[in-house]
Structure formats: structure tokens, C-alpha cells
Amino acid sequence: MVFRFHLDASARLFIIKTIQVLIMNALLYNIIFLVSLALAKPSNNSLGATCTVSSYDDVASAISSCTTINLGSFTVPAGTTLALKLKTGTTVNIQGTIKFGYQEWKGPLVQVSGKQVTINGASGKFDGEGANYWDSQGDKGKTKPKFFKISTTSSSTFNDITLKNCPHQCVSISSASDTTLSGWNIDVSAGDSAGGHNTDGFDISGSTGITIKNSVVKNQDDCVAINQGSNLVFESLTCSGGHGLSLSVGQSTENGDANTVKNVVFSDCTVKNSRNGIHIKTHKDAGTGAISDVTYKNIKLSGITNYGINVQENYANGGDSGDPLGNIPITNLNLQSVTGSMSGGSSSMSVYILCGDGGCSNWAWSGVSISSAKKSNSCNFTPSGFTC
């Protein structure tokens, strides 16, 4: 049996409008639902979510919830590390000024670890407020925190980061691989007249495949100090006020691996108003080790006060220590176009080489010319292509 309904025009219009209202309500509900999802606080399951942090208290939740993190201005509590143990592929943007409460401790103030992470300095900076710690005693005196530690990173990049007023060592890189630092500005120049000391720019140990380029360091110690590592590249660095481009090898009395540096290139770097231009020191109180395949090329020096090039195998207890020892031999040390001038007093010297027995071999130098030294060069080993 079929029932047929005959509706007049007004009834049909009512039904059509009712259906339209139901459809509009359904669409509006879906829109509200989608907007609420977009505005909701990211959860642990929000892959690719973005977090903006304006308080230290929110850092941990941002790290667990997000793979894009924007750090605004805040202060890290005294005696606390800003620990950025990041998920694989995380990007962190420094958009504000990050400071640290005062406490005498070893630090670090910041520590970053992770795989395939990217840290962008953006418009922000880290301020260590070193004047609170500086006492002209560096490693001694009051305990001073190390500033920025990069550890166990791989396939990662750190771009355009500004560090101001490091209390002690500025950047420590350890147990890292295939990591690039570019466009850094490390400024500890305020420490020149305020007791800054041992404010190394970049310290590298236990790492391989590290590139540091297009960066500026103003400090009161080594611009770069390599303790241990391999396949290290330093390009277009400008160093001022410190102790130059350095290798300081022999941190262990037992482990030969910890005293090994190989495959290192410094290129197109400028060192000015510094104690040394190039400084390679091996520790005679260390165990055995080796330095091999190190190249400095296109290095410009100016205003160097002590040594343009200083290679010494008698370093111990923070300075010269009598006769040299060849416990950490230096082989294949290549210098190409190292030029510039000295500005020191009566003891300034362009080139100083002090090798232990069998400690130096296969050095090739070309285009080495450093003027205005007050003392003649001193060498107990002469590289090929160079007249001491």
C-alpha cells in the first residue's frame, strides 16, 4: 500500500527551511570542533606541534609535547641547567633574552642533546652575566659555571646564536657527531677590563664531524681549543682578545684515545689583538697520544702580543714546564699562507717550535710570514718549506 501526501506550498517551504537549518547547525558544530582542536594545548601525541615558552617552568612540558619550540625571555633558577634534551627533529628558536640566577657552581647553564635538532638564535640571546663571577682567577677563585654544552648530538645544526658574558668556558662540545655551528656571536669583551679569564670560545672533545664557521669570538682565552676529536673543520672565524686557534692535547694520563686529534682544518680565519695566533700544546704529564693531519690555511694575524705560531711539547700545570717530551707526537702539520704582524713587547716572537725527541715529523709550511716581532724565531725542529 502506498501513501501519498499532498503538501501545500507553505508546508513544503517549512520543510526545506528546517532541513537547511539542520545542515547549517551541523556545519557550525564541525567548525567549532576543528577550531577547538587547533587552539587546544598540545599533548604528547601532538606530532609537529609548536610551543611558545615564556617561563622556565614551562620548558619541560614543551620538550615533551612539541617539536617546534619558541623560547621567549625568562630567567633560569640559580644552580639549574636549562636542559634541552630534545626529540629527534626538534627545532628551537631563541626569541628572547635568557638569563640565569646567580650561584657558584660548575654548570653548565645550558645543555643541548638530540638527533637531527636545529637551534636558531633568531632575535634572542643567552646572557651569562659573567661580571657576577669574574675575579681574574678563571679556573681558580670562586667556582664559575661553564655556559653552553652541546653533547650527544648528531646530524644537528646550531645557527646564529649569541652568547654574552660567559662566566667561564663558553661552548663545550663533547660526544657529538656531524654537527654544524654557524653564525655564532660570542661576546665576552666586557671581561677584558673586569677580570674575565679562562673564557674559552669553543672547546671540543670526544667528537667527530664538527664544523664551526662564520662566527665571531671576543674573549680572554683560546678562541678554539681542541682536546680530542677527528674530522673537524673551522671556517671564517674572527677571534679577538684571546689566545688564538689552539690544540691542547693530553687531558688523560692513561687513555691514548683521549689524547688523539686527527684530520683538522682551519681556513680563512682572522686572529687579532690576541696573545697567540696559532698555539699547539701537548701535555708532557699526560699519557701517550697523537696529533696528525692538521692544516691551517689563509690565516690572518694582527696585534699578536706573544707568539704568532707557538708549538710546544712541554706544557704542564697550565704553562711551560722544562724540557719537551714526545709522548704525543705531531705529524703532518701543514701551514699555508699564515700572515700578519706582531705588536708585543721585547719578548714577542713570530715562530716558536719546541719538540720532544721524535715528537715532530712531516711538517710542510708555505707562505708563512709574520712581521714586527722583537725576538728572532726559535725552532728545534724546522718544517719543510720554512726557514727558522
Q: What's the alpha-carbon Rg for the chain, to the nearest Å?
A: 29
Q: What is the DSSP string of 47-81?
A: TT-EEEE-SGGGHHHHHHH-SEEEE-SEEEPTT--
Report the pLDDT value the prediction gives residue 10, as an integer from 0 to 100.
Answer: 56
105-151 pLDDT tens trace: 999 999 999 999 999 998 999 999 999 999 999 999 999 999 999 99
343-357 pLDDT tens trace: 988 999 999 999 999
Average the pLDDT over each of 17-31, 190-204, 224-238, 365-379 and give the range with the smallest value: 17-31
Whether residue 186 lies inside any domain: the answer is yes
What integer is the mean pLDDT of 4-13?
50
Average the pLDDT over each of 20-34, 79-93, 209-223, 372-386 and give the range with the smallest value: 20-34
Residue 377, C-beta contacts closer than 8 angstroms, at least 6 positions apart = 349, 350, 351, 352, 388
Whether residue 53 lies inside any domain: the answer is no
pLDDT level of residue 9 (50, 70, 90 thresholds): low
Show which residues are catalytic.
221, 243
281-305 pLDDT tens trace: 999 999 999 999 999 999 999 999 9
Whether pLDDT at 11 is above 90: no
CA distance 54 to 70: 9
Whether residue 250 lies inside any domain: the answer is yes
pTM assigned to the model: 0.88
Report the pLDDT value the prediction gives residue 344, as an integer from 0 to 100.
Answer: 81
Whether residue 87 lies inside any domain: the answer is yes
Q: Name the one residue in this structure whose C-alpha cell is 670560545.
A: 201
pLDDT level of residue 318 (50, 70, 90 thresholds): confident
Whether residue 330 lies inside any domain: the answer is yes
- Its domain, for residue 112, covers 67-379
Count Cα atoms within 13 angstroms, Cβ side, for 182. 8
Whether pLDDT at 376 is above 70: yes
Report the pLDDT value the prediction gives residue 320, as an integer from 0 to 100.
Answer: 84
CA distance 374 to 205: 35
The CATH number for 317's domain is 2.160.20.10
The C-alpha angle 371, 280, 199, rounded to 5 degrees, equals: 95
Whether residue 57 lies inside any domain: the answer is no
Q: State the amino acid at position 144 in one-letter form.
A: K
Residue-level length of the chain: 388
Whether residue 384 lies inside any domain: the answer is no
Instruction: Give the other-Cβ count within 10 Å of 54's Cβ.
Output: 13
Mean pLDDT of the chain: 91
79-89 pLDDT tens trace: 999 999 999 99
Instruction: Find, among 176, 189, 99, 180, the residue nearest to 145 by Cα.
Output: 99
Please name the residue ranges forming H helices in the chain.
9-39, 59-65
23-70 pLDDT tens trace: 455 444 443 333 333 433 443 334 579 999 999 999 999 999 999 999
Whether residue 344 lies inside any domain: the answer is yes
| Total count of domains within the chain | 1
